[in-house]
Amino acid sequence: MVSLRCKILVKAELERLGLPYLTLDFGEVELAQTISVPQIEQLKEALALSGLELMDNKRAILIEKIKAVIIEMVHAEEWPTTNFSEYLTEKLSYDYTYLANLFSEVTGITIEYFIIAHKIERVKVLLIYDELSLTEISYKLNYSSVAHLSSQFKKVTGLTPTFFKQLREKKILEV
């Protein structure tokens, strides 16, 4: 469960199947009791219909937790005061080198790339909403400067933030 939508879907399925839970958080559910193999299969099938997967592989679960922490951080109102490696270590209680190596091994991309990709998606949303200036967006997402944000945006999307915003405005006007 990497998003609020996923969390809501999982909660609904658990309730529909009559499976009581103690906690339901991003990427993790603690059931109130042990469930039978047929119940596990029912839950797997129900989640699959919603495009979700029940994971019992500890490595896969840890990867989902890493993704959830990153997404939570990118969408938070305040950027963490510590650097990201310390932040991830604090949140997950694992050594950052271990997390980074595991993430790269399993996903084929680095944690840094995953963060950048999500930050750029967040920049796109903020540009579309047009409530913040590029300077405010760069500050909000902890970029060292507007130039750094613009450079990274262009590297990922092939467009400058200004051109992206103009394209978006043009599409809105044409509709």
pTM score, two decimals?
0.70
Contacts of 153 by beta carbon, 8 Å cutoff, 6+ apart? 120, 123, 159, 160, 161, 164
Mean pLDDT of 30-54: 83
List, in sequence order, the alpha helices (H) in the chain.
Answer: 4-16, 37-49, 58-75, 84-92, 96-107, 111-129, 134-140, 146-157, 161-174
List the single range of 58-72, 98-112, 161-175 with lowest mean pLDDT. Answer: 161-175
Mean pLDDT of 108-121: 95
pLDDT at 152 over 60: yes
Mean pLDDT of 145-157: 95
Mean pLDDT of 59-76: 89
* Per-residue confidence (pLDDT) for residue 174, from 0 to 100: 55
Tens digits of residue pLDDT in 15-28: 888 888 888 876 67
DSSP conformation letters of 145-159: -HHHHHHHHHHHHSS
Lookup: tokens for 174: 């044409």
What the chain holds in terms of domains, given with CATH numbers, is: 1-54 (no CATH), 58-175 (1.10.10.60)
Tens digits of residue pLDDT in 87-114: 999 999 999 999 999 999 989 999 999 9
